[in-house]
Amino acid sequence: MGDRPAMNAEAIGRAVGRMAREIVERAGREAGDLAVVGIRRGGVHLAERLRAEIARATGTRPPLGTLDIALYRDDLAERGRAPVLGPTDIPFPVQGRTIVLVDDVLYTGRTVRAALDELVDFGRPRRVWLAVLVDRGGRELPIAADFAGATAAAAEGEDVLVRLVEGGAPEDVVVVRRRGS
């Protein structure tokens, strides 16, 4: 199929654990104000995992939210069909919290831009940290990851795909795939 493996299950597990510890460390005394929000769809399961790891480190489970950015996309005018919209659920007040925004792959930065716009419509967080499993470069906006599991080199015609067992994959893996194959 032409998939280039970039991370295996073990590497993914280590990366998530390491990111959780770094987040807790940077939060310091404000670790109690943490909340984790996963960007649909790729960031949802990762957000759950991060949240579990943070809970293991601090003893308290931070609240978990889900954000669907379809209504905030900047490329609607170019699309032929209105993008499928999934549920957004932010079951806690955003005000004053340190939000850890989670996505699987950081590429152009446009998804994160949309997620930030949507997030602040829910309230004014104290600060927002971006945590991604894979940073593949190729930014089109001035967005940077605060926490990244790994970097990956991928050309413009390639996709970096994160497959997790929660999503039905046989095992966790990150692959680089040539588009169109």
Hey, is 140 helix, strand or coil? coil
CB under 8 A: which stretch of 9-17, 20-28, 50-58, 87-95 binds another protein? 87-95
Residues 26-65 that bind another protein (CB under 8 A): 42
Give just the sign of the alpha carbon dihedral 76, 155, 13, 102.
Answer: negative
Of the pair 76, 169, the CB lying nearest another protein is at 76
In the stretch 128-167, what mask flags binding to another protein with x, by CB under 8 A? Answer: -------------------------------xxx------
Of the pair 21, 177, the CB lying nearest another protein is at 177
User: Of 110, 150, 163, 178, which one interacts with another protein (CB under 8 A)?
Assistant: 110
List the beta bridge partners of residue 5: 175
Cα 10 to Cα 14: distance, rounded to the nearest angstrom: 6
DSSP codes joined into one string, 55-97: HHHHSSPPPEEEE--GGG-S-GGG-SSPPP----B--S--TT-
Residue 116, CA distances (Å) to 35, 60, 96, 105, 146 in order: 14, 25, 15, 16, 14
Give just the sign of the alpha carbon dihedral 19, 20, 25, 26.
Answer: positive
The answer to whether residue 87 forms part of the interface with another protein (CB under 8 A) is yes
User: Of 1, 29, 78, 170, which one interacts with another protein (CB under 8 A)?
Assistant: 78
User: Of 5, 14, 85, 137, which one interacts with another protein (CB under 8 A)?
Assistant: 85
**Which parts of this chain interact with another protein (CB under 8 A)?**
42, 68, 70-73, 75-83, 85-89, 103-105, 107-111, 117-118, 121-123, 159-161, 179
